[in-house]
Amino acid sequence: MGNVVDKGTSFLFHVNRYVAGSETDMYKHGYAELLYVSDGSLTEHVCGDKVHIKKGDVCFIDSGCVHKESFEEDDTFVIRLEVPDEIINAVISNAMADKQAVDYIKEFVKVLKNSGYIHFGYKDDYDNELKDMLTAMISECGVADMASVYICQGLMLRILWRLGTVYEYAQSRYIRKKINWLLHQEITDFIEDNMKDVTIDMLVERFGYQEDYFNRFLKAQTGMTFTEYLQDCRLNKSAILLKEDSMDVDEIIKEVGYRNKGYFYRIFTEKYNMTPAKFRKYIKEKEFTI
Domain stops at, among 150, 169, 188: 169
Please check whether residues 183 and 255 belong to one and the same domain.
yes
> Closest Cα to residue 51, out of 127, 121, 125?
121
CATH code at position 212 = 1.10.10.60
CA distance 183 to 191: 12
Domain range for 96 is 4-169
The per-residue pLDDT for 104 is 75
Please check whether residues 80 and 191 belong to one and the same domain.
no
User: For the chain (length 290 residues), average pLDDT per consecutive 10?
Assistant: 43 78 91 92 92 91 93 89 85 70 78 85 78 86 75 85 74 61 82 93 80 85 92 95 89 95 96 94 69
> Closest Cα to residue 154, out of 135, 176, 130, 137?
137
Please check whether residues 144 and 41 belong to one and the same domain.
yes
Tell me the sheet residues that pair with 18: 76
The per-residue pLDDT for 22 is 93
The per-residue pLDDT for 289 is 43
pTM as predicted: 0.60
C-beta separation of 281 from 249 below 8 A = no
Please check whether residues 244 and 270 belong to one and the same domain.
yes
Tell me the sheet residues that pair with 67: 27, 46
Please check whether residues 14 and 155 belong to one and the same domain.
yes
117-121 and 58-61 strand pairing: antiparallel
DSSP sequence for 154-176: HHHHHHHHHHHHHSEESS-HHHH
* Number of domains comprising the chain: 2
